[in-house]
Amino acid sequence: MGFKHIYFDEKVCNGCNTCVDVCMCDTFVANSEKGKPPILKYPEECWLCGACVTDCPKKDEGAIRIVTPFQLRGSFLRREGGSRQATACACSM
């Protein structure tokens, strides 16, 4: 599998294709099977604006999520603990 950073939860996503409509870089294509999540066809053309998540009607239920590409991970000081706990969850998807 090639690079991918946007994931759908098939159980939650209703295939409404809002993300396909709003994506400024046209990274998604609609699934040929109605009601199924779209396909992220051009992940490397994403601007990471997050509109696909912001406008998702089922975002609160976790229909769509972005796992930030690793080379874009921030450089910052960890003064008081803090850890990359969530990364592990993301990778287990």
Partner 1 sequence: MAEMKVIEHEADVLVIGGGLAGCMAAIKASEESGLRVLVTDKSNTVRSGCAASGIDHLWAYIPEIHEKMGYTLEDMAEDHRQGMASRFFRKDLFYLVAKSMYDRVMDLEKFGINFRYEDSRAPGKFRVVEQFHSVPASFNFDGVPLKPTLTREAKKRGVTIINRVQMTDLIATNGQISGAVGLNTRTGDLHFFKAKAIVLSTGRSNRLSRNPTGFDFNTRIPSSMSGDGTSMAMRAGLPIINAEFFSGQNTLAPSGNYNPNYGDPRNTVQPAARIIDGAGNVLVPRTQFYDWESLGKEKWSEDVRRKFLEGLRAAHLTDPKKGSPLHIRVKRGEGPFYLDFSEATDYEKEYIEWSIKNEGKGTQFLRYFKDEEGADLRKNPQEYSGYWPREIAGTAAKGVWVSNDLETDVRNLFAAGDEVGGLPWQAGPGAVAQGWYAGQMAARRAKGQRAFLPVDEDAVKARKEMCSAILDREIGFHWKEVELYVQNLMDFYCGSVKSASLLERGIVRLDDAKAAPMKAENPHELGRVLDVKSIIDNAELTLRSSLERKESRVGLLSFVRSDYPDQDDENWLCFLAIKRSQDGRFAFEKMPIEG
Residues between 71 and 90 with contacts to partner 1, criterion CB under 8 A: 71-80, 82-87, 90
Contact between 49 and partner 1 (CB under 8 A)?
yes
Contact between 92 and partner 1 (CB under 8 A)?
no
CB of 90 to partner 1, least distance (A): 7
CB of 40 to partner 1, least distance (A): 13
In whole angstroms, give the CA distance from residue 60 to residue 88. Answer: 20
In whole angstroms, give the CA distance from residue 11 to residue 45. Answer: 26
Phi, psi of 9 (to 5 degrees): -100, 105
